[in-house]
Chains A and B, each alone.
Chain A
């Protein structure tokens, strides 16, 4: 027996408020069916008390009649679930998980709750295997590890879409294990969606799943689409032993949707109007990356975060950075100088690469070379600053070598354009550009590797 409410009194888009009848044991978080004049909408209970139930309507509340008997609200007993299946690979869906590529509906293998449960920390396997993105600044200096969450911090007007498309198309695990990429568009522009679709089709979409929530789609959907994508990822990774790489673009839209709903609920804001629980909320998404002991699959996340006004201390990138295992930061300066991909090495960091690279995985010299590149590039920047003040005549011979190194680094190592490089290629290029420094300056590299790999200046 289900109770049908017709006493809707308050609507604050996208929320509905109504008073429950006595002894109706409404479930927190349960799904709500809203029958309106023009069809059925779906909602979810956000909070409930004897006085008031707050419901968020996924499709928005526009046009829902108040005070008319036509609007009928009934509470279902279950919480939010979606049907998942291996058939989803190669398909395109909207933010609610409904196919939008003109194909048949999905026949679910299984129904899953979209909120997921936290992985028991004792059951986590520490991420140790690399993913090759084909990009030197990623693979060489900020290696992506299976099970890691490594965000891209970008700004408006930077070519992150191009970079993402390149990663989605080129990323591979170095073994023959099954590998799937999920692209989750959160509040992206219709034009960007088109761009991604074209780019992905260039390479074929047989191992890709897209979930697209457009900027014009309902706000609430933005809060749901990453959960749907991650639930699908968990199903593929832990049920079917696949390695899943999931790109969430863009988490700034997600966080803004969170703020919008929080604001309407009348919650007390913390920083910049964002709710105090934003850290926990973001964590509930990011922490779904990982590996589990004894299971073959893995979930790797690349969330994209647009830094409002390029401000890395803005709450969205800030809280993200505290949860994720490193960050890859795009640089406006690089972009203006025509370097692609414009990844700024010094601000970027992959926390998990240290244990995953090296012999048997990438190459024995990888860790030392990466450390040397960082140190040398950092020194180059200092010398460049000094040079701009005191002039190039007054700097020492050694300093000049660093200037040479720095320009090679930017021109050849960083600026690779849309080419694809293996780990091997990346490291060989690194040794080439280190060459002008001379072997004596390479104090972070073991002597045996210098002997083996150092390229004498031609």
Chain B
């Protein structure tokens, strides 16, 4: 240690421009090295370029008050995440500093120069081994676990280590104590619970697999019309006021995943406060634990340093990969990737790089790919054989709501589902404001899983709704010209059914206890009602029964309200509505059968 002290690599600041500084005099340096800037302020920075032996550094904190010629120390390790138990139920800034702990030290406002560990070093965890002394393990193997809330937090052999286990036993350890040794020839590796991983390098895996299972979100429009697979990638673009953040919040609360990583990247402080207030109170219905206990939050609000915002999404994905490697299904929500791209643009501008479209650097697409490509359904390295997944749902905030801007178009290249939010729907308070004609999902291979494991008819229903909604799109413009009453009855039925589907199925009210989460069964039964109404009415209309009779059906109002009135546990009520609908349609049929 002492030797290291003497070999401190130091330089001096030769230029300060916003969060970018230049340093002269490092005897040794490489891209990605962390540095400590100024012995007075202790700001953290990262070397991002080296020009003629001058290090170009982005600082993760405000540089106001920093002095020319101040001393900078090269710490010679890359920006890394601390990985281990204690991650869940935490809230970090963009470079994994625990914000609640910082608040204890510096109070209500964030001051500079805070050096704090991401994970608690004191807390003891009960380690339960799953291998025995004398067993041979290799990298990625699980050697035991600690229980972190409801999650079995597996402890894995780090990359590049293999050998024979010695000295393993059950016991209470903090994360930096030795839990066992791994002996390989003459080398002995002391395994701890804590591990570290640099954020810019993806964690290696054994094999990538084709995502073929749905990630159930509990939001009808997604589960049925625009599904996402476990391990899939979705972009959610929308101008301001279209409900992106509310949508991300509701996914974080309701989606079916073992771990949620929520990245509030350059967004509003009050929204993070909302999440932090509500999450500890909300309960995960699957295990009755508070939702916060499956969640890691990264809050780098818009007024926090811009370089840390750039790092935040890579910090988040690194933590997600760690849980994936345990064989968990992880959902990563990034709100918003546009703010991240803007941080990239700001730094690029300070580096005086040649800009491309919209001022963004030419490597925008590469960086986006670096991030999105870390999602996937993955076969993990090591024993026991396990499969984990990371699903990314990234919000995009296109300037002026214009989807042709660079971040949206480049993001589109790397995602397979696109949930386009529409301001006109939002104006009409149609939430989630997902536009059904601009959105798409290429995860149509999920049909098989749905049919076999969840509910029959998924594919068929999708086709039917798509038909009705797209026909309505065409017809409504004609209806506006000549008045809906003057269309042929079949077409009036389409417009009418489409309106029913929008009001009674696509809209979902986050404030209604019955409607907030729609179980796959409820979703399917509900849409079944609307399609039954459509199909049977259509066949009756073809027998010349006038259209207005169907509009007068009283059961329609109950069906329209069913999403609000029927609880997920009480789907018999939908069966009842189904019977009532059959009865009423039959009645119409009978009345007219006598007449015709």
Contact = CB atoms under 8 A, between A and B. Distances in A.
Interface of A: 20, 23-30, 47-51, 79, 115-127, 147-148, 238, 267-271, 275-277, 279-280, 283-284, 286-290, 292-293, 295, 312-315, 318-319, 321-323, 325-327, 346-347, 349, 352, 354-355, 367, 371, 374-375, 378, 385-386, 389-390, 394-396, 443
B64 interface: yes
Interface stretch (B96-104, B206-214, B311-319, B321-329): B96-104
21 contacts: A25-B69, A25-B70, A27-B67, A47-B16, A48-B15, A79-B65, A117-B111, A120-B99, A120-B106, A126-B274, A268-B352, A269-B359, A271-B359, A276-B345, A276-B348, A280-B346, A286-B302, A289-B270, A375-B428, A378-B427, A386-B483
Interface stretch (B173-181, B393-401, B588-596): B393-401
B345 A313 contact: no
Contacts of A325: 268, 270-271
Contacts of A47: 15-18
A422 B241 CA distance: 27
A354 B511 contact: yes
B273 A124 contact: yes
B345 A29 contact: no
A124 B272 contact: yes
A28 B64 contact: yes
B296 interface: no
Contacts of B106: 120
A29 B65 contact: yes
Q: Give me the 4 closest cross-chain CB pairs, A-B, nearest first.
A: A313-B400, A49-B15, A283-B302, A270-B359
Contacts of B346: 276-277, 280
Nearest to A444: B429
A314 B511 CA distance: 33
Contacts, number: 210
B302 A323 contact: yes
Contacts of B22: 49
A300 B571 CA distance: 45
A119 B269 contact: yes
A395 B479 CA distance: 12
Contact of B108 (A120, A288, A314, A385): A120
Given A25-B68, A385-B480, A394-B483, A118 B109 contact: yes
Given A318-B400, A322-B397, A347-B427, A28 B65 contact: yes
Contact of B270 (A118, A126, A322): A126
A270 B345 contact: yes
B270 A127 contact: yes
B485 A394 contact: yes
Given A47-B18, A120-B109, A27 B65 contact: yes
Interface of B: 14-18, 22, 63-70, 91, 99-100, 102-103, 106-111, 239-241, 264, 266, 268-274, 276-277, 299, 301-304, 306, 339, 342-343, 345-346, 348-349, 352, 355, 358-359, 397, 399-402, 427-429, 480-483, 485, 511, 560-561
B495 to A, nearest CB: 13
A44 to B, nearest CB: 10
A65 B99 CA distance: 49
Contact of A29 (B64, B276, B277, B352): B64
Contacts of B65: 27-30, 79
Nearest to B344: A276
Nearest to A323: B302
A419 B103 CA distance: 45
A442 to B, nearest CB: 13
A318 B99 contact: no
Contacts of B70: 25
A233 B343 CA distance: 29
Given A51-B15, A117-B109, A287-B301, 7 more contacts: A28-B64, A121-B91, A121-B269, A276-B349, A276-B359, A313-B399, A390-B482
Contacts of B397: 322
A127 B274 CA distance: 9
A378 B428 contact: yes
A298 to B, nearest CB: 11
Nearest to A391: B483
A122 B427 contact: no
A115 B64 contact: yes
Contacts of B241: 321, 326-327, 349
Given A126-B273, A313-B399, A279 B302 contact: yes
B17 to A, nearest CB: 4
A268 B111 CA distance: 30
A375 B400 CA distance: 25
Nearest to A355: B274
A121 B99 contact: yes
B91 A122 contact: yes
A287 B269 CA distance: 7
Contacts of A268: 349, 352, 355, 359
Contacts of B66: 27-28
Given A148-B270, A287-B268, A313 B68 contact: no
A346 B427 contact: yes
A349 B560 CA distance: 26
Contacts of A23: 69
Nearest to A44: B64
A155 B409 CA distance: 31
A313 B349 contact: no
Contacts of B511: 354, 367
Q: Looking at A115, A321, A374, A395, which has the most chain B CB atoms within 10 Å of its CB?
A: A321
Q: Looking at A115, A279, A318, A367, which has the most chain B CB atoms within 10 Å of its CB?
A: A279
Nearest to B24: A50
A284 B349 contact: no
A342 B203 CA distance: 56
B279 to A, nearest CB: 12
A4 B86 CA distance: 54
A396 B274 CA distance: 44
A284 B301 CA distance: 10
B281 to A, nearest CB: 12
Contacts of A318: 239-240, 399-400
A362 B442 CA distance: 46
Given A50-B14, A268-B349, A119 B108 contact: yes
B72 to A, nearest CB: 13
B149 to A, nearest CB: 19
Contacts of B69: 23, 25
A283 B303 contact: yes
Contacts of A238: 108
A121 B265 CA distance: 12
B399 A315 contact: yes
Contacts of A127: 270
Contacts of A347: 427
B307 to A, nearest CB: 11
Q: Looking at A50, A116, A275, A371, which has the most chain B CB atoms within 10 Å of its CB?
A: A50
A394 B68 CA distance: 77
B273 A120 contact: no
B342 A276 contact: yes
A288 B109 CA distance: 11
B561 A292 contact: no
B296 to A, nearest CB: 14
Nearest to A20: B68
A280 B270 contact: no
Contact of A313 (B274, B343, B401, B429): B401
Contacts of A314: 400
Contacts of A25: 67-70
Nearest to A51: B15
A40 to B, nearest CB: 23
A182 B304 CA distance: 25
Contacts of B428: 346, 374-375, 378
B269 A290 contact: yes
Contacts of A27: 65-68
Contacts of B271: 325
A120 B102 contact: yes
Nearest to A371: B429
A286 B355 CA distance: 28
